[in-house]
A and B are shown apart, each in its own frame.
Chain A
Amino acid sequence: MTSQPEILASDALHHVTFTVNGAAYEIDVPARRLLSDALRQDVGLTGTHVGCEHGVCGACTILMDGRPVRACLLFAVSVQGASLTTVEGLGEPGDRLGPVQQAFKECHGLQCGFCTPGFLTTITAGLRENPDPTEEEAREMIAGNLCRCTGYQNIVKSVLRAAEIRRESGGA
């Protein structure tokens, strides 16, 4: 006879520990707290934005153990022990811009900035996997993120420029 695992009541708080951008966090949240909300409110990092809460727009994309995932489609309780990266963690020491961020600035890859964090994390992971994308591959890399301001032209350019910057600085 297997013992029943403890099912906590719906309003119970769950103690969750994980790292974000290398720093350890411990939060106490109800099970239904979406990771997007937990990051913004419980952890206090508001750089991850919420555009739709149904996984389509990609503004909430963060890296979980290095892979892009939609924070609005995860519960905070599900990331116990995980290592998360948000836009706030993409910079270089001395508060300098990382290669993807730098490329966006050079190429005017953002206007209102709301969708931008989701693109930055997605592209950061994408370039780790494919450091030298063709233009078609660059387009494919960002094909799951919505932007309403830029029309994407300069975001594609930013991907290619970011690849260049990474190469120039010896890859990252």
Chain B
Amino acid sequence: MKPAPFSYVRPSTLDEALAVLAADPHAKVLAGGQSLVPLLSMRLAQPSTLVDINGLSELAYVRTDENGVRIGALARHADVESDADAWRVQPLLRQALRLVAHPTIRNRGTTLGSVVHADAAAEMPAVVSLLGAQVLVASTDGRRTIDAADLFIGPLECAVGTHELALELQVPALGRRTGSAVDEVARRHGDYALCGVAAVVSVGESGAIETVRASYLSVSLTPLVLDLSEAFVDGSASDANLEAAAEIATAGVDPETDIHATADYRRHLAGVLTRRVVRDAYTRAVAPDPEGAR
């Protein structure tokens, strides 16, 4: 399984990279390569040119302030996962990254790369959708920001144009009195999830639930975000409310059957995991525990 021939360039400046992308619509960006290289080796993708941005070291950063976390295009999953400031300000990043493949893959794969790969079975597209993140992209025409809600337009298809380079992922901070959690069921440890749920729960000063939002992996063609707040009108995380939230989830997801699981089972998992994850997020919202991630 060797790749078909491709031309290769390793730009030393961002402008050089953008110039190549502008000139060749069949060029592809190589950052982490953990998703792209297998596609090349299996000859499922045959780009004309590979634009290797690993030389643009100025894009390797994780910067955190009280507004959120900004993740550069060359920040590896491992860098984001281990970043203490990022963990403090937006714990859902590390909570989700721990579920992404295996540590060796995370040493090379980039978080932004995973987002723009736009696989609805992956963790990061669901997380950025839930958090309302934004992606900053650049091209020879200038720069623009794409909201997560507008980013995923189809299975493995995102709104970043062939002439554009995704530069930075901007993830908002987790609000005050807000807890996050994520869980998934996979066939083997580290596999793509059969179904996964990430949730964010905000509570009022009294600890009463105000908003509950969840996003789903592997149960739709593009990342699905559901507002579950209407199940928590009385503000409590009662079993009845969690069950009602689970029902919204099972009604809202649109999974498919494949060789690993039936649509019915995935739908069932969406409900089960919604209950578990919302409860965990609520627990963290009312009693924040910095070490609370699994």
User: Which A residues are within 8 Å of any B CB, using their own CB?
Assistant: 2-12, 14, 30-32, 34, 37, 53-55, 58, 61, 64, 67-70, 72-75, 77-78, 80, 122, 143-144
Contact = CB atoms under 8 A, between A and B. Distances in A.
A54 B6 contact: no
Contacts of B6: 10, 31-32
Contacts of A72: 37, 41
Interface of B: 1-13, 15-16, 18-20, 23, 30, 33-34, 37-38, 40-42, 49-50, 52, 54, 78, 101-105, 107-108, 189-190
Nearest to A139: B189
B37 A55 contact: yes
Given A2-B13, A7-B20, A55-B105, 5 more contacts: A7-B9, A9-B7, A73-B37, A143-B190, A144-B190
Nearest to A143: B189
Task: Label chain A's interface by main secondary structure.
Answer: loop
A53 B7 contact: no
Contacts of A80: 10
Contact of A2 (B1, B3, B15, B41): B15
A11 B5 contact: yes
A73 B108 contact: yes
Contact of A7 (B8, B40, B107, B108): B8
A143 B101 CA distance: 10
Contacts, number: 114
A34 B8 CA distance: 13
Contact of A74 (B1, B19, B33): B33
Given A8-B9, A9-B7, A32-B2, A144 B20 contact: no
24 contacts: A2-B15, A5-B9, A5-B12, A5-B16, A7-B20, A8-B7, A8-B8, A8-B9, A10-B5, A10-B6, A10-B7, A31-B8, A32-B6, A37-B2, A54-B42, A55-B34, A61-B104, A69-B107, A70-B34, A70-B105, A70-B108, A74-B37, A75-B8, A75-B33
Contact of B101 (A6, A69, A144): A144
Contacts of B30: 75, 78
A31 B37 contact: no
Contact of A53 (B41, B78, B102): B41
Nearest to B18: A2
Contacts of B108: 69-70, 73-74
